[in-house]
A and B are shown apart, each in its own frame.
Chain A
């Protein structure tokens, strides 16, 4: 009886200690990546290669989904705004939704599933096939050679992808709203320009996407580096990357929005 009760308590204690240890390990890993990122700027070719893999190859999915999201916003927004007789405000609605929220958030979610999972799988497999150990044997620091360039590539790519998403989305809203439905073109653009502020809306969106870039890439790298070196371990780590970084993006978005747009 006593044994059983303490057993339950021990289970809770074990989980708690494990959780705290993992958080500590993750933050140490993150700080280590930051401190050892000198080489990813001195040998910028390494980072450029990673920008190609995580940024350029995500371009198609980002642009296409941006276009579709913008078009859907145009259709849905028109449907609702038309009831209040203010369909000219369609441009404002599409632009504000995209630059403030959907641009950074949706592109971060896409980035997590397109590039984040790839980063985790790659590093997990490097570990499973003992490439990381081999690097350590050759006195090459795997964090500065493998992890840091990928981190900076993600941080650089994310805001650019989010900006492209928003720009293409506004174009999609324009296609549906002005070209297809026939909202007045002048009102569409002029009301948009009158309502969207560069600092308040666009710059805050860019700041958001930089934060999401840091979060998604750091989580993906940590999960890959931490993955058990087996096929099952790598697959679990890849799943965890997508789930954790998506949740992190949404939670961070709530916090950032609360700070940025309270006025």
Chain B
């Protein structure tokens, strides 16, 4: 085959390959929708994080605004310290609450941010003070059984 056509085909091949990577990155992956370079970090302490994992989404009003980057156990307070990256486009007041919620009945767990009314915004590295832990199903059932049992005892 002639050198020119060969070069042309290989050129098409390489361009198509890189286009495929670009499509994967922008359309399939989160590189296009999510700009973390201008993001900021927030910290929140929870009594119990349930099944929350790193990379879980952070949502506010249902919109994904960030991602959990790190989960550590704090040996002084005996609480779970969750670090999350928030997209720089979104600002939240200082008295925002963070709660661990579940999407659907069997879905994955995520952090829901409920904005407060403070005029000052949370800054990079700030800690969210008002948190609500995950609902642990076993504890809920235990409480239910306990209240039923005490109800029965009260009737006698």
Does chain B have a CB within 8 A of A170?
Answer: yes
Question: Beyond A56-B13, A167-B20, is A198–B6 a contact (Cβ under 8 Å)?
Answer: no
Interface residues of B in 102-136 (CB under 8 A from A): 104, 106-107
Interface residues of B in 12-31 (CB under 8 A from A): 12-14, 16-21, 23-25, 27-31
Task: Write out the residue numbers on chain B whose beta carbons fall within 8 Å of the beta carbon of A200.
Answer: 55
A interface footprint on B26-53 (CB within 8 Å = 1, 0 otherwise): 0111111110000000000000000001
Cβ–Cβ contact B7 & A164, under 8 A: no
Does chain B have a CB within 8 A of A189?
Answer: yes
Task: Write out the residue numbers on chain A whose beta carbons fall within 8 Å of the beta carbon of B3.
Answer: 45
Cβ–Cβ contact A193 & B29, under 8 A: yes
Cβ–Cβ contact A196 & B10, under 8 A: no
- Bound complex: CA of A198 vs CA of B37, how far in Å? 14
Chain B proximity of A232: nearest CB distance (Å): 31
Question: Beyond A48-B6, A51-B13, A86-B104, is A196–B54 a contact (Cβ under 8 Å)?
Answer: no
Cβ–Cβ contact A52 & B24, under 8 A: no
Cβ–Cβ contact A196 & B13, under 8 A: no
- Bound complex: CA of A196 vs CA of B26, how far in Å? 10
- The prevalent SS among residues of A at the interface is helix
Task: Write out the residue numbers on chain A whose beta carbons fall within 8 Å of the beta carbon of B64.
Answer: 194
Does chain B have a CB within 8 A of A246?
Answer: no
Our pick among A45, A163, A194 for the contact of B30 (Cβ within 8 Å) is: A194
Cβ–Cβ contact A197 & B23, under 8 A: no
Give the size category of A's interface with B.
20 to 34
Cβ–Cβ contact A163 & B13, under 8 A: no
Chain A proximity of B22: nearest CB distance (Å): 9
- Bound complex: CA of A202 vs CA of B16, how far in Å? 17
Question: Beyond A51-B10, A56-B13, is A167–B30 a contact (Cβ under 8 Å)?
Answer: no
- Bound complex: CA of A198 vs CA of B29, how far in Å? 5
Cβ–Cβ contact A48 & B27, under 8 A: no
- Bound complex: CA of A196 vs CA of B25, how far in Å? 9
Closest to B64 in A: A194
Chain B proximity of A156: nearest CB distance (Å): 8
Interface residues of A in 190-227 (CB under 8 A from B): 192-194, 196-198, 200-202, 206
B interface footprint on A92-105 (CB within 8 Å = 1, 0 otherwise): 00010001000000
Residue of B7, B24, B25, B57 with most partner-chain A CB within 10 A: B24
- Bound complex: CA of A98 vs CA of B27, how far in Å? 14
Task: Write out the residue numbers on chain A whose beta carbons fall within 8 Å of the beta carbon of B27.
Answer: 170, 189, 193
Does chain B have a CB within 8 A of A84?
Answer: yes
Cβ–Cβ contact B13 & A160, under 8 A: yes
22 contacts between A and B (CB under 8 A): A48-B6, A48-B7, A48-B10, A51-B14, A52-B1, A52-B6, A52-B10, A52-B13, A59-B13, A157-B13, A159-B17, A160-B20, A163-B17, A164-B17, A164-B20, A167-B20, A170-B27, A193-B29, A196-B29, A197-B55, A202-B21, A263-B53
Contacts A86-B104, A167-B20, A196-B30 aside, 9 further interface pairs with beta carbons under 8 A come to: A48-B7, A52-B6, A56-B10, A99-B28, A160-B17, A160-B18, A193-B32, A194-B33, A197-B30
Which 4 pairs between the two chains have the least Cβ-Cβ distance?
A160-B17, A167-B20, A163-B20, A164-B20
